[in-house]
Each structure stands twice: as C-alpha cells, then as structure tokens.
Amino acid sequence: MAQVKVVVVGNGMVGHHFVEQLRQKSENAMITVLSAEPRLAYDRVHLSEFFSGKTAEQLALTTEENYQRLNVDFHVNARVVKIDSEKKSVETQSGQVFEYDKLVLATGSYPFVPPIPGNNQEHCLVYRTIEDLEAIQASADCSKVGVVVGGGLLGLEAANALKQAGLKTHVVEFAPQLMGVQVDTRGGELLKAKIEELGVTVHTQKATQVIEAMETVKDSDSDCRYRMCFADGTHLDTDMILFSAGIRPSDNLAREFDIEIGERGGIVVNNQCQTSVQDIYAIGECALWNKFIFGLVAPGYTMARVVADNIMGGNEDFLGADMSTKLKLMGVDVGSIGDAHGRTAGALSYTYENQPKGIYKKIVVDANQQKLLGAVLVGDNGEYDTLLQYALNGIDLPESPESLILPSSSDAPLLGADSLPAEATICSCHNVSKGDIVNLIDQGTCELAEIKGCTKASTGCGGCTALLKNVVDTELEKRGVEVNKDLCEHFAYSRQDLFNLIKVQKIKSFDELLANHGKGAGCEICKPAVGSILASVWNEFVLKPEHVALQDTNDTYLANMQKDGTYSVVPRIAGGEITPEKLIVLGEVAKKYKLYTKVTGGQRIDLFGARVDQLPLIWEELLAAGFETGHAYAKSLRTVKSCVGSTWCRFGVQDSVGQAIDLENRYKGLRAPHKLKMAVSGCTRECAEAQSKDIGVIATENGWNLYVCGNGGMKPRHADLFATDLDTETLLKYIDRILMFYVRTADRLQRTSVWMDNMEGGLEYLQQVVIEDSLGLAEELENQMQHIVDSYQCEWKTAISTPTSKARFRQFVNSDKSDVNIMFIEERDQIRPATEAEKTKVMTSQSENDLLLEPQV
Amino acid sequence: MSEEWIQVCKKSDLVKNSGVCALVNDKQVALFCLPTGAANDAELKVVATSNWDPIGKANVLYRGLLGSKQLADSENDAMYFVASPLYKQRYCLETGRCIDSDEVAIDIHQVKLENDSLFVKLAG
Ligand code: SRM
Ligand SMILES: Cc1cc2nc3c(=O)[nH]c(=O)nc-3n(C[C@H](O)[C@H](O)[C@H](O)COP(=O)(O)OP(=O)(O)OC[C@H]3O[C@@H](n4cnc5c(N)ncnc54)[C@H](O)[C@@H]3O)c2cc1C
Ligand code: SF4
Ligand code: FES
C-alpha cells in the first residue's frame, strides 16, 4: 500500500493506543491526530490519583516529543465538527480541513447529567477530564459537604476523592443497591455497609427532583449552598454535587453526518469496527458493537489493534470482550466476573458470607456444575485471579466448586499458573497471553521488570500483577533457570534467607554462618553481602577483626578507591548545610594534603587523591573539626539532599533543611542491600528533586508527602506517592518501617526501585505492610531501626582510636616509602592522576620535576 | 635471579583472611593470609603475589577480597583467588592465572614462615 492517510478523531486512551499500534505496524502511514482536549492522551483509568498528588504530566500517556519522534501530526484543542465522506475530509472548529483515506472515530464518551432542574449551577460538576478534576478541587476547597449522584464504580471512586478532600460525603443512588452492574443484591448491601463504615453516607432508592439554591429555600437555617429534594419528600443539603450517573457515547458527529447510530446511541460497528460508511471506523467508548458499549479500556485497546490491523491489510476480528473487573474502592476489595447475576439459563450459585469480617463471595456455575460462569467478590479479592482464569479458559471445575471460595479449606485446588493454556490472557489491558510471556522467557528475558517493559503487561489497570509474577516464576522454575536464589556457591540460600538465619539464630560472624550453613571459604559475592546483613542486624564496627575481611575495598579503607589506587574523602555534610568555619577547614585540609576538590552531585564536598597512608592523618584533622564519616564508600545512606525551604525561600511551607538534617542523622550508617538516597523539598516546586530518590519528602501546608522507591542513575524511576500530609512522627515511623522491610527482603545490590518493581502487589502491598501493618511486623521493624540508630558510631572515629585498625592504613608493612606509581599532573590549578603515557614520558625523560607533583605532605 | 630468601616482616603484620603489602628489593609484594580451617595461628597459610593489577594498572591487589571457588572436577578441592579491588577480575593464588581473562597473570612468589618471621623468595 502507498502512504495511507489516517486521521484519528479523539486522543483519549483508545485513540492513543491506536496511534501506537498503527505506527508499530507501519512506518509509512501518515497519521494525523485531532484532539478536542487541550493536551494529548492521559491515563483516565488512574484519573483519581490526581487527588493524591499525581500531576497531569505524570498521568500523561505520551508527550509531544514522543509524537514528533513517531512522526505523528497532532493538533490539540482541535474539535472535529464536520465529516465530508464524499470528499473524504474532516473539518475542525477553527476551520482547518484534513483529508483522509481512513478515518478513525475515537471520540469516547461524556458523563450523563440527569435532567434535574437546577443541575447546571456553579458547583454542579462531572468527573471525566483533568479539567473536571481541577474544577472539583477548586470547588472542594470552598465546600464542607459534597454529594455524588450515582453509586456505580465511578461514583464510588468520585466519593472517595471528595472524602479525601475532607468533605462530609454522601452518595445518592437511584437504584436499590450500589454497583448494580457488577455485583448482586447481597454484595451491594455489604458494600454499602462497608462504605458507610468509612464515613460516607449512602442513600439508595432516591430520585432527585430538583436542586435548589439555598437562597431560594424558605425558612432554612442551613449554611450549605444547595438543597436536593427527593421524590419521597426528603431532602439533603450540600455545597457541591458531582454527577456520575453513567456515560453516554460521543456520537454527535456520526449522528449529524449520516453514520448509523444505535437506538440508544453509540456508533454502530461490525467485527472489523467499520461503521456504516466506507473507510470510517469507530473504536473505544463511542462504538456500539453487537448492541453493546464497552465502558472499559481493555476492549477499546482490542478494537484499536483490530482497526490498525485491518487498515494495514490484515483481517483480525473484534469478537467482544470480557467485562470482569477487580478494584479497590475506598480500601474495599470488589471483584466481578462474567455472569455475576446468574442470568444464564439453568445457572446455579454458591455463596459464602462472613459478616464479622465483611466478606461476601459468590460463584455462578452452569447447570452441570462443570464450568464457572461468573463470580462476585466483596471484601476479599484473594480468589479473583484464579476464578477469572476458570471462567475465561473454560477450565473444568473441581468436584466441589464451593472449595474455590471457602476459607482455608485445605483441599481448595489452587489454580497454578502451570495449568493455564498458552492462549490464556494474562493481561487484558495490553492483550498479553501466557504464550507471549513464555516466548520472551525462551528468548532469554528472565527478569520480571524486563518482561513488564517488553510486553507492557500489568502497566494498565494493574489487576494482573500477581498473576503475571506467578506465571513468570513458574515458567522460570520449570526451565531449571530455577529461580535460583542461592547467593553463590558458598550459600544455598537467598539473601532474605540468610538475613532471617542471622537474625533468628543470633549469628554474629561470617565464620559462624559459614560453618553452620555454608561451604568453602566464601567469595567476593557472599562476603560483602553477609557483612552488610551482619551490620544491618547487629551494627557492630565494620572493621572489627572478624568483619574486616568481608568488606569491599571501599569499606575496608572507609574511602572510595580511585583509578590509580588513591582514595577520595567525603565527610558528611548533613542536608547540605555547612558553616563557613567548616568549609574553611575542608579547604585547609585539601590544601595541606594537595587534594583535588570537587562539589559532588549529592550536595557535599569530595577530596580526591589521598594515599592510603594519608587517610588517617586527614581524618584526624577532620574529626577534630567536628566532621564525621559520610559513608560515601558504603552501601548505606549517602545523602539527604535538601532545598533551602521555608526559612529563606518565599514559597517554602516547611523547614526542609531541618527535616533533611534530622533524617540524615537518623539513618546515617544504616547498612542496606544497596545505597540509599533521600531528599526533602520545602514545597511542590521540588527543588531538591525528591521524586528521584529512594525516599523523597515534599512539604505540604499540612505536613509532609512521602514518596518512595525513586531512582536516578542508569534507569531512572519516578518515586511513588506513598502517603500524604504526614506529621513528622508518622513520617519517621513509616520511613523506619519501609527501610527495614527493604533491608530484610531485598536481593543483594537491589536498589529500592527494582525492589518495588519486583514486589508482588507493588505499592499497594507495601502500603498495607507499612501503614496497615498487615504482616504484624511494624513494631519489630521500628525496634530494629531504633537499635541501629542507638548503636551508631562514626567509623572513622573508631578506626583511628583502634590501633589494629589504624595500622592497616599503609602501603607497606615494612617501609614508609610511598607507591612510586602514583603520579599527579596539574590541571586547572589542581592535581589529577597522570595518564599512562604521561608516566612513561616522565620515566624516560628524567625531567620529572617539570611535570610531576610529588604525592606527599 | 634472586635466589635467596629475604626476611620481610613479622607474622603479626599479616591480617587473617585478608592482604597486606611489603616492599621487597623495591618490588611491591602482596601477602595474603588464607583461611586454613584451623583456629590455630601456627597453621597460617600465606601466599605472596605481585601487587600490580595488570588490568587496573595500579598497585592495589593487596586490597582485594579473598575467595574460594569449587573446582569442577573435584568434590573437595577449591581454588583460592583474590579479586582486584578496581575492576573485580579474579586471580588464582596458586598459579597467578586470571580467571576472568586469558591475557593477563600475576607473579607468585615463594613464602615461608620461620618462627615469627616471614621470608619471601622473589620469582623470576
Ligand atoms: C562522587 C560522585 C560524583 C560527583 O563527583 O558528583 C559519585 C561517584 C561515584 N558514583 Fe555515583 N556519584 C555521585 C552521585 C551520584 C548521583 C546523584 C545523587 O546522588 O543525587 C547518582 C544518581 C542518583 C541515584 O543513585 O539514584 C549516582 C549514581 C550512581 C550509580 C547508578 C546507580 C543506579 O541505581 O543506577 C552508580 C553505580 C552503582 O552504584 O552501582 C554510581 C557509582 C559511583 C562510584 C562508586 C563509581 C565507582 O565505582 O567509582 C563513584 C564513587 C567515586 C567516589 O570516590 O566517590 N553512582 N551517583 C557523587 C557522590 C555524591 C555524594 O555526595 O555522595
Ligand atoms: C474516573 C474514571 C475511572 C475509570 N476507571 C477505569 C478502570 O478502572 N478500568 C477500565 O477499564 N476503565 C476505566 N475507566 C474507563 C476508561 O477510562 C475508558 O474506557 C477509556 O478512557 C475510553 O477511552 P476512549 O479513548 O474510548 O475515550 P476517551 O478516553 O473518553 O477519549 C475520547 C477523546 O476524544 C475527544 N473527542 C470527543 N469528540 C471529539 C471530536 N469531535 N473531535 C476531537 N476530539 C473529540 C474527547 O475530548 C476525548 O479526549 C474509567 C474512567 C474514568 C473517567
Ligand atoms: S522546593 Fe520550594 S521551598 Fe524549596 S527552594 Fe524550591 S521553591 Fe523554595
Ligand atoms: S489487566 Fe490491566 S494491566 Fe494487565
């Protein structure tokens, strides 16, 4: 095919997915994107996270640069108002005309606002776009009470947002129960009870007749803005109203320009997603397939793939999609699979209910009790993945199907990832099958994080995370790649196992561990790892005779080795704050020992070019001036970067420097699986770049927002927002728990970012462990951290006052000479190591005094 | 060349399971003290090598980590090695061969302990 001109109307989630798919299939297709919104596609599914601090940029699914790179012509604020199917062109509001060979309508849907008189007042809003959310935020800031009209999935999500914004929140539902689409009556009742427990008032079977402005209500002493009057004569006063009463397809264009529309709206499409007009397709929430509109993103993505394929000459079909959903609403698990209401003829059901714990589970099976048709889960989604696979893959049910939902019945057959067929869909958002994953593994991709990167699996709604990990682990084990967690040939244990052994059996030295649980003499892999664990648990001086041989060279000499065998010295400058006096001391020491001096990327000062025998002399002077070790050499806390914060900055809302210093002093010296970095910013402008750190803290009007598991370095990762508006005490408590949990469970040399990416359950799981204490570990973790804090010592101070340790800092045991191979050259008024060529030149020319600087005091 | 034993240092200058360095006739010699399994100091097993890291090109080998590697053809025999502190290449402490590269090797010198003194006979 020559260059096909494709115009896409709408750049929502589905429109964007289509662009990506088409570009993947064809480098030549000329793609034009016309978006009515002021920005390119963003993640609507996670829209609510806007309220917990995610910015529009973080929600973005693409960027202008990215579209440019993909060679996509795009126009924002470009609503299409006209289709000319004869001339094959479309026209935007501003009069621009675009010609097409193929036209793809991906106009999505809009929120339905029930025709209630008074529904158009200032604080009556909807929930669909980023602009909507900004309006809600603004309205919430000047409201005390909020009502959500509609008790479906989105309505409850909206209610949660209002609740979090601190409003007294109500949900008003016309039907007799909540989430009528997904769950059955009993499930809906339980859900209502749980949500009311969380402080949201639910009113079911309420038809709103009118919304009155309070000024117009006679004899009212309410200080709310509006009064909602219901058909049953009751009323509810509120300051703002959010409509979430369902969605309607954006089908105006099609309607006006003679494309077939369904009886109740929606652009009619066939199995190739073609509309009634040649060369015009419709995908996503505007499309009506088989009299059905799919209000979820995964079916839209499938439609996008089908159309991209068809345009490029393929013949894929769209054959419907699974509408199962798994979500957490205000912390309550809700799951709905297939025929949740048991509408199939002859269907039978089993239910389990546990009122004290607030758990309800139902499975719907066929008349022969052979296959699973559907399920409803409220309060516990533990079985969701297994049930979904039974339903999707038509797997035969076990003899007593009820065992699938009964708690701790020992014969509950767990559906291992192994029993799934290759076609089984693992991630429905990105259409990744078990076979796709198996192929990748066969090609040698063995890291979960890499597999996520290649397939995008679990990067959509996130519902498939646990199953994905399960499949990957099982497949790896099957291949004898055996998820071999052995640390090395000397220990047939993972780092986590060794940690537990050391802690539980109170093992205090490498030799003891090796004698009891290992073999051989150890190596460069297990020795530092065990050294680190011993330090994390017992926190003894790392250069004690029984520990010294375990340390990597940097730890052994408490400094960072440079290319020529000299060292760099980095004293701690907590939070980056330093007095002029101390700054002068650093200058004087550097001058005296002729050290190259540089400001590091971590807000402190590095002195380079010290010979091993000079280290104790340099540190004696630094210690005397009040400095302490900066642990630049250790897998432990490096720096806590700060911005200047409220003390000086006109925007700062908290004392970020003070907080950074406190954090650095609390966690300094903590040995961890890898190095740790933190930062504290004084306001959302984020000058300390806290979101790129393992632990990031950003000040808010009300306290501190905590971000976790960010990373700069080779593979940057934005930190995840973990909790908001914490007071300092809670902040420290959470950080204590997070860090100690990391120290316990991470692999050797695994930064927190990779640890998080490989964690089953991800952020949510970590929040449960840390905030809700789901493992009952919180106190122990805190105590362990307190032990580390209490047993802190400056390693340089101890080293210098321990003769056997101090004696190690020399080049020769039998001579005071220094290493003649260390030579420096002067450059920009400081020293640098001589290159090999320069060294040879000097050796042969004898005129060394011109060139070389003697490495001496 | 140098056929004689040279007295270098005291036994107490050595560090168990780790290395130190001595200057012997202007040559830098790394002295490693390997684990023998015996708690008794009298059984110290000492290995002497050149201190020059031929890949990192610096006199640093004595600051490397010691380790053992099970030999493929033997149940019990293990090879001892030192890993360079710069780029982590491992050198066999028996042959001087680099385990991670065929291109380089380090010298192995003879050593003996007599009473409290350590003697080295420099190689080639
Ligand atoms: C000195 C410094 C460069 C400078 O002159 O600015 C530096 C120097 C080294 N970095 Fe770095 N990094 C320095 C800031 C950073 C930063 C910036 C920061 O901390 O804000 C980063 C990115 C942030 C991060 O870590 O997420 C950084 C990411 C790395 C990485 C990549 C880590 C990763 O997860 O991808 C390595 C390699 C590693 O650790 O495995 C590394 C490793 C190193 C090593 C250890 C490389 C080596 O083997 O010699 C260097 C130690 C030399 C020495 O003598 O200190 N350095 N390094 C900085 C010391 C900061 C301090 O005060 O402690
Ligand atoms: C708060 C919220 C939570 C959700 N949670 C989930 C969930 O957990 N799981 C799930 O699967 N789904 C969820 N959804 C639904 C999901 O977001 C939608 O299914 C998905 O966004 C549909 O994508 P789309 O591209 O079809 O439509 P949209 O994302 O609505 O995009 C359509 C775009 O077309 C533009 N447009 C319309 N008309 C024109 C025109 N004439 N010219 C140019 N542009 C036009 C619109 O402005 C819009 O930008 C949620 C939705 C919301 C609002
Ligand atoms: S982050 Fe905020 S408080 Fe800190 S320096 Fe920047 S603008 Fe000022
Ligand atoms: S199913 Fe939604 S991300 Fe995989």
User: Is residue B41 scored above 60 in pLDDT?
Assistant: no
Contact across the interface for B59 and A821, Cβ inside 8 Å: yes
- Option in B21, B65, B88 nearest A813 (CB): B21
From residue A482, how far is each of A518, A546, A759, B9, B98 by CA, in Å?
20, 34, 19, 49, 29
Q: Is A528 on the interface with B (CB under 8 A)?
A: yes
Domains of chain A: 5-110+248-311 (3.50.50.60), 124-245 (3.50.50.60), 322-415 (3.30.390.30), 416-483 (1.10.10.1100), 495-551 (no CATH), 635-795 (3.30.413.10)
d(CA A824, CA A750): 36
A215 and chain B: CB distance < 8 Å anywhere?
Answer: no
Nearest CA in chain A to B18: A549
Q: Residue A816 corresponds to which tokens in the numbers above?
A: 């005071």
* Ligand 3 near A648 CB (within 6 A): no
Q: How is chain A split among helix, strand and coil, in percent rounded to 5?
A: 35, 20, 45
User: Which residues in B45-54 are b (16+ Cβ under 10 Å) and which e?
Assistant: eebbbbbbbb
The span from the CA of A274 to the CA of A281, in Å, is 4
Cα dihedral A479, A480, A483, A488, rounded to 10, equals -150
The one-character DSSP state at B16 is T
| Cβ contact A401:A375 at 8 Å | no
- Partnered with residue A63 across adjacent β-strands are none
Q: Is the CB of A336 under 6 A from ligand 2?
A: no
Task: Residue A269: name the closest of A27, A14, A4, A11 by CA.
Answer: A14
List per-block mean pLDDT (blocks of 10 residues) for chain A, which spans 857 residues: 88 96 94 96 91 87 94 96 95 96 97 94 95 94 95 91 91 93 90 90 95 88 93 95 94 94 95 96 96 91 95 92 83 89 91 88 93 92 87 86 75 63 84 90 82 84 77 81 76 90 92 91 91 94 90 92 95 97 97 96 96 96 97 96 96 96 97 96 95 97 95 89 95 97 92 89 91 92 95 95 90 92 93 90 59 46
Question: Which ligand 4 atom sits closest to the C-alpha of A427?
Answer: 4
CA-based nearest residue to A630, from A593, A597, A603:
A603
Task: Please report which ligand is nearest the Cα atom of A126.
Answer: 2
CA–CA separation, A547 and A511 (whole Å): 9
The beta-carbon contacts of A64-67 under 8 Å, at least 24 apart in sequence, are A64/A40, A67/A19, A67/A33, A67/A40
Calculate Rg over the CA atoms of chain A.
32
**Distance from residue A430's CA to the centre of ligand 4 (Å):** 6
Rounded CA gap, B46 and B40, in Å? 14
Strands A676-681 and A695-700: parallel
Which of B7, B10, B13, B21 to substitute to test the interface with A, most A CBs within 10 Å?
A: B21
Q: Which domains, from first to last, does chain B contain?
A: 6-121 (2.102.10.10)
CB-CB under 8 Å, A811 with B59: yes
Helices (H) and strands (E) in chain A, counts: 28, 38
Q: Provide the pLDDT for residue A483.
A: 61
Q: CB–CB of A128/A156 below 8 Å?
A: no
* Side chain identity at residue A632, one-letter code: A
Q: How many CB atoms neighbour CB A56 within 10 A?
A: 14
Chain A residues 592-651 with a CB less than 8 Å from chain B: 612
- Residue A247's nearest CA partner among A298, A202, A284 is A284
Question: Which pLDDT value is given to residue A592?
Answer: 96
What percent helix, strand, coil does chain B show, rounded to 5?
Answer: 5, 50, 45
Residue A105 forms beta bridges with which residues?
A9, A282
CA neighbor of A796 nearest in space, from A639, A625, A675? A625
What local confidence, expressed as pLDDT, does residue A398 receive?
86
Per CB distance under 8 Å, which residues of B are interface residues toward A? Answer: 8-9, 13, 15-18, 20-23, 28, 31, 34-35, 56-60, 63-70, 78, 80-81, 83, 85-86, 88, 90
Q: d(Cα B32, Cα B45) in Å, to the nearest integer? A: 8
**Among A19, A32, A250, A255, which residue has the most ligand 2 atoms within 8 Å of its CB, making it the best to mutate?**
A250
Contact across the interface for A813 and B35, Cβ inside 8 Å: no
